Amino acid sequence: MKRRIKPKYIKCIYLCLPFLCVVFMFGFYFIIDYCFFPMEREITVEASHYNYSIEDFKKYNVNAKCISKIDDQTFEKVGTKNIQFSYRNHTYSTKVNIVDTTAPTCKVKTKKVYTHHTLDISSLYKEIEDASDVQVTYKKEPDLTTLGKQKVTLVLTDTYKNTNEYTTTITVLEDKKAPVIKGTKDLNLYIGKSISYKKGITVTDNVDKDLSVQVDASKVNPTKVGDYKVTYTATDLSNNSTTKEITVHVKKYDINAKAEEEADQVLNKIIKDNMTNQEKVKAIYNYLVSNVRINGYHSGSIDAYKTAAYYGFTNKSGDCTTYAGMFMVMLDEAGIHDYKLVKRYPIRRLNHYWLLINVGDGYYHYDPYKRTYKLTDTQLDKKGYVNESYNYYQRQKDTYPATPEA
């Protein structure tokens, strides 16, 4: 006879069944989650700008989707990150350990360097690649006192002590060329006035940049009229030195000084450092033609030509004496001294003055008052004849140097 289950047990089974189902379901999903995790639970990657894809995280070939943002900067720094994925409405997380075990790399460059100079280590390499900061040092300091080629080894060390070595070649040269000082000229210093010794002075060198010039004006007495020597010196890093000397004329601040001062102000505007003397003469001539008006006013004796010049600078007008005086003052201040003042002879009613100027190719006639520029004796005479009996440019030719003839 079969044994019957008692009703109270049946009732207990029915009461426990839902609980057992819940336990079974959670257990089932736990087993699936643990045993059939579609993604890698933990991976180790090298710190880099590599753009990882979801395929790098899959354990099985499933159609999972990445929830976390992944780009070329996600794994650039050492550390730990959790990357989340979804598959069949379930979220999975992969632990990513980011490490740096790769040594830095770069490209090296050859370099020429001069003795007594410094060698910037950054000039020997380019395009460093690494996931962290990299320090570059010499394996052995280069010898910059020995001429010729030598090998130099660079040591690249990143933040995580990964190292790499690269060897390049430097060539040590000797610099024997001295700097060049430009812009020096004799200066006027008027008593009671100040002066800038370095204005317009430039220094260039075949190797070094931004060299300065040293000025020794210790011999100048700014309160006593006289001529004093001032020395300019420029020295490069290889101890090549250039010295130039000028004369400073200390003068009283009278009408002559005022004319020179006015001339300097004009020259600073129209004269450039790279001009030849002929170009300077042309610039001065053009200034007088364009800026001084002919008014026939007799501005003084030619013997006091600086007084006439000062009148011309301040009034922008005058007669031939004014033009000749301004021309001579500006030539003097520009450092052009090889000129002759020419006078009309014999005098016909009025006198007339112009200049013979030599800038290295012989004397030529210049007269901004009559718009005469660089004429020979023959050309001047041809222009000067008003009629057969009267030459505007008549002069005592034997008292002046002859001009070249074409």
Mean residue pLDDT across the chain? 88
Distance of alpha carbon 243 from alpha carbon 28, whole angstroms: 96
Distance of alpha carbon 241 from alpha carbon 262, whole angstroms: 35
* 8 Å CB contact between 218 and 210: no
Mean pLDDT on 88-99: 88
- pLDDT of 386 reads 64
pLDDT tens readout for residues 55-74: 888 888 888 888 888 887 88
- pLDDT of 306 reads 93
DSSP 185-244: --EEEETT----SSTT-EEE-SS--S---EEE-TT--TTS-EEEEEEEEEE-TT--EEEE
pLDDT confidence band for 353 (50 / 70 / 90):
very high
Pair of tokens at residue 399: 């008292």
**pTM (global) more than 0.85:** no
- Given a cut of 80, whether residue 16 has pLDDT beyond it is no
Fold match between domain 31-99 and domain 105-173? yes
Weakest mean pLDDT among 21-35, 361-375, 376-390: 21-35
Distance of alpha carbon 373 from alpha carbon 377, whole angstroms: 12
- Given a cut of 60, whether residue 1 has pLDDT beyond it is no
- What kind of fold does domain 31-99 have according to CATH? Immunoglobulin-like (2.60.40)
pLDDT confidence band for 340 (50 / 70 / 90):
very high
3-state secondary structure of 286: helix
pLDDT confidence band for 4 (50 / 70 / 90):
low
- Given a cut of 70, whether residue 261 has pLDDT beyond it is yes
CATH code matching the domain that covers 105-173, chosen among 3.40.190.10, 3.40.1160.10, 2.60.40.10, 3.40.50.300: 2.60.40.10
Residue 342, Cα to own-chain centre: how many angstroms? 48
* 8 Å CB contact between 104 and 127: no
What lies within 8 Å, CB to CB, of 219 at 6+ separation is 228, 229, 230
For the chain, the domains span 31-99, 105-173, 177-253, 255-406
CATH code matching the domain that covers 255-406, chosen among 3.10.20.30, 3.30.70.260, 3.10.620.30, 3.40.190.10: 3.10.620.30
- pLDDT of 23 reads 63
Mean pLDDT on 342-354: 86
- Given a cut of 70, whether residue 44 has pLDDT beyond it is yes
Distance of alpha carbon 109 from alpha carbon 106, whole angstroms: 10
CATH architecture of 177-253: Sandwich (2.60)
